Amino acid sequence: MCEKDIDEVLQTNTVFVNVSKGQVAKKEDLLKAFGTDDQTEICKMILTKGELQVSDKERHTQLEQMFRDIATIVAEKCVNPETKRPYTVILIERAMKDIHYSVKPNKSTKQQALEVIRQLKETMQIERAHMRLRFILPAKEGKKLKEKLKPLIKVIESEDFDEQLEIVCLIDPGCFREIDELIRCETKGKGSLEVLSLKDVEEGDEKFE
């Protein structure tokens, strides 16, 4: 790392014992800890070998965000098998609190979402599944609307275009509300959306895309 680089990274080259109190490290302390009192060299050592210190408040915010992210993934991928409808993120968050789920900062949110689904199955009706939908769109808006719907669809199973466009497809549960809203708004209530069934996601499929 050259001098120019380090100036772009650091606010100051001064080494502190306690930065919040403004206590600068003494020369003898630097020599004892780093074997040199060259502050630029010491800064380089800290940058390459030191550990980032995160405050309790920052750590708490980070864990809260991870908790929310995990709940969002679960809500996007799961349904209530009885009603065939997705759960809201708020409901999943509440269920996670009820089972006292503790976020693991060193594991990915996707890995933890799988663990949460396994634990929630013991206390509520929840399954990983794709929703099989049929929507019928007026011919006039059909082609244009299909392009807007495409990014939200996982697989188009069948498509029939006559006087109107009829599509049967699989989606992630988390996309259901957006699709429903799009069809209602774009067709001004003339289009229809129907949940045909749920397609289970294989239990062995231990990864989220």
136 burial (CB, 10 Å; 0-12 / 13-18 / 19+) is middle
Whether residue 43 contacts residue 3, with contact meaning beta carbons closer than 8 Å, is answered with no
Of the chain, the end-to-end C-alpha distance in Å amounts to 37
pLDDT, position 49: 76
d(CA 153, CA 133): 10
Q: Which of 189, 196, 195 minimizes the C-alpha distance to 138?
A: 189
CB proximity list for 161: less than 8 A, separation 6 or greater: 139, 142
The CA dihedral of 89, 95, 99, 104, to the nearest 10 degrees, is 0
Please say whether the structural domain 56-128 has been given the CATH code 1.10.10.900: yes
Q: What is the pLDDT of residue 204?
A: 47
Give the 3-state secondary structure of residue 167. strand
In the CATH hierarchy, which fold is given to the domain comprising 131-197?
A: Alpha-Beta Plaits (3.30.70)
- Residue 10: the pLDDT is 66
80: number of Cβ within 10 Å: 17
The helix or strand, by DSSP H or E, that contains position 129, with its residue range, turns out to be strand 127-138
CB 174 within 8 A of CB 76: yes
Please tell me the pTM assigned to this model: 0.60
pLDDT at 3: 46
Mark 11-34 as b/e (b = at least 16 C-beta within 10 Å): eeeebeeeeeeeeebeeeebeeeb
What ranges do the domains of the chain cover?
A: 6-49, 56-128, 131-197
* CA nearest neighbour of 34 among 23, 21, 22, 47: 47
Considering the four listed CATH numbers 1.20.1560.10, 1.20.1250.20, 3.30.2270.10, 3.30.1250.10, the one that applies to the domain covering 6-49 is 3.30.1250.10
pLDDT score of 5 = 66
Please, what are the averages of pLDDT over each run of 10 residues along the chain (209 residues)? Answer: 58 73 82 84 78 74 93 92 89 96 91 93 90 89 88 91 90 90 89 85 54
What is the helix (H) or strand (E) element at residue 182, kind and residue range? helix 176-186
Confidence (pLDDT) at 25: 82
